[in-house]
Structures are given as C-alpha cells and as structure tokens.
Structure 1
Amino acid sequence: MCAEEENIQIDWEKCPIHNTLEAIRGKWDYKIILSLNQGSKRFGELLESLQGISAKTLTYSLKKLEKKNIIEKNVYLVVPAHVEYTLSNKGMALKNVFHEMRKWGRTWEK
C-alpha cells in the first residue's frame, strides 16, 4: 500500500509512485524518454540530442528502458541495417506524468 494518510507503514514495492520513479530514475532515462517523445530516433540521433552522454551509457540506458518495456527497438532488415527507437504504449503513457512534473516545476521551482 502506498500510504496517503499519516502514520501508515508504506510498502514501497506496492507503491505506484515509487514504481513510477524507479522506472525513470536513471540520470539519462527521462531525457531519453523526452527525446523519443518527439518521435522515433536512430542511435546516432539520440546520441546527438543528448549532449554529454557517451555511446556506452546510451547503449546501457536504451537496453534498460527496453527491458522495462518503456521503449521499443525496431530493426529494419535493409542493407545497411536500420534501427530506430520509439516509445512503447507504456512509454507514451508517461507523457501525462512528465506534463504534471513540468507544471509543478514551473510553479514551485522559480
């Protein structure tokens, strides 16, 4: 249970807020999601749009987000190989979460 009242023991493993934050907690995770929010991107396009990330870190983060079913890796069987990353339905559902976080940030973090 994710307590919404005072003095209640919180079971973090069952708390939807905790689980949502865990899904996007990596330094680059939310940035990758926001970048893909603009549409599908190839690895190089993501690398270019995320200033300061290394190729190794991007690879790791993409695999992690894919494993969590937040993004999808689409491989096109052409020569040369063509791979694009896109948000899954689960990833697209984060749009509203980020929208609310943006509103909160604009209101309170001035």
Structure 2
Amino acid sequence: MTLAIRAAKMYYTAHEQPERLDAIKPERQIRADIFSVMETLKQMATRRWAGGMRDEELDILDRWIQGLFAMLQQEHDMEEAERAEQATWTWLHGDWAGKEVERELSFMAS
C-alpha cells in the first residue's frame, strides 16, 4: 500500500499537465485523500495489526484505490476527447505550401 501511495504522490506532483489533473480533482482534495490513507495505515500500525484490517479501514483504503482508478479513467477520457478534436484540425495535416493564409484562417477557426 505504501508503494501505491508513493506512486500516486509522484504522479500528482510530476504530472505533465497539472491543470488537467486539477480539473479532475483539486490538489487540496488529493492531499486530503492521501492524508486519510496515511492516517489509516498509521492507526493500523499503532495497534500492530491486531485483529487484522477493520471494515472501516478497508473501506477507506478501497475508496481511495477506486478513486485513483476513476481519476485515471477520467484523464484517459479527456485525452481521447482531445485526440478526437485534434483529428478534426485540417490545418494540422496536409500540404499547405502556397496556402499559408488559408492555413492560418483554418487554425483560427478551430
């Protein structure tokens, strides 16, 4: 679990487009989620795992993991939408030699 937290933290902090990630979930909420998971793990370690994982602890960890998968899916969907939009950009493809003005107009129209 701690490797997952470390990987998530690296993903959040070193993201290529932090504004896209922020559109999915605000940084404050991301930090609160990680803090909640860390506190849960701390409580489990403090009691030395006596009695195994409690239901509420399992729920907290499971919700965090499901939230990660949901964020990744949302980001994937956003990237797919961007790719679909870029595929419609006529100014991006083709031979525009001698038609620079038309290309610029097509660019501004998109």
Instruction: Please give the TM-score of this superposition, normalised by the length of structure 2.
Output: 0.28
- Larger radius of gyration between Structure 1 and Structure 2: 2
More strand, by proportion: 1
Between structures 1 and 2, the one with greater helix share: 2
